[in-house]
Amino acid sequence: MISKRLEEELNKQINAEMYSAYLYLSMSAYLAKENLNGFSHWMKLQFEEEQGHAMKFFQYILDRGGNVELEKINRPQISWNGIIDVFEEVYKHEQYITNLINDLVDVAIQERDHATVAMLQWYVSEQVEEESTVSELLDQLRIIDGKGSGLFMLDREAKSRSLSSN
Average pLDDT over residues 39-55: 98
Q: Is the dihedral of CA 48, 53, 58, 59 positive or negative?
A: positive
Residue 165 has pLDDT above 70, yes or no: no
* pLDDT the model gives residue 71: 96
Residue 166 has pLDDT above 70, yes or no: no
Average pLDDT over residues 9-21: 98
* pLDDT the model gives residue 163: 74
What does the alpha-carbon distance between residue 21 and residue 45 come to, in Å, rounded to a whole number? 9
* pLDDT the model gives residue 164: 67
Does a structural domain hold residue 165? no
Domain containing 154 — which CATH number?
Answer: 1.20.1260.10
pTM, two decimals, is 0.94
Does a structural domain hold residue 164? no
| Residue-wise DSSP of the chain | ---HHHHHHHHHHHHHHHHHHHHHHHHHHHHHHTT-HHHHHHHHHHHHHHHHHHHHHHHHHHHTT------PPPPPP---SSHHHHHHHHHHHHHHHHHHHHHHHHHHHHTT-HHHHHHHHHHHHHHHHHHHHHHHHHHHHHHTTT-HHHHHHHHHHHHT------
Does a structural domain hold residue 63? yes
What does the alpha-carbon distance between residue 166 and residue 54 come to, in Å, rounded to a whole number? 12
Domain that holds residue 102: 4-159
Q: How confident is the model at residue 161 (pLDDT cuts 50, 70, 90)?
A: confident
What percentage of the chain exceeds 70 in pLDDT? 98
Does a structural domain hold residue 114? yes
Does a structural domain hold residue 27? yes
Task: Specify whether the CB–CB gap between 142 and 28 falls below 8 A.
Answer: no
What percentage of the chain exceeds 90 in pLDDT? 96
The pLDDT tens digits of the residues spanning 63-114 come to: 999 999 999 999 999 999 999 999 999 999 999 999 999 999 999 999 999 9
Average model confidence (pLDDT) across the chain: 96
Instruction: Give the count of domains, the chain.
Output: 1
Does a structural domain hold residue 23? yes
Task: Specify whether the CB–CB gap between 133 and 98 falls below 8 A.
Answer: no
Does a structural domain hold residue 121? yes
Does a structural domain hold residue 26? yes
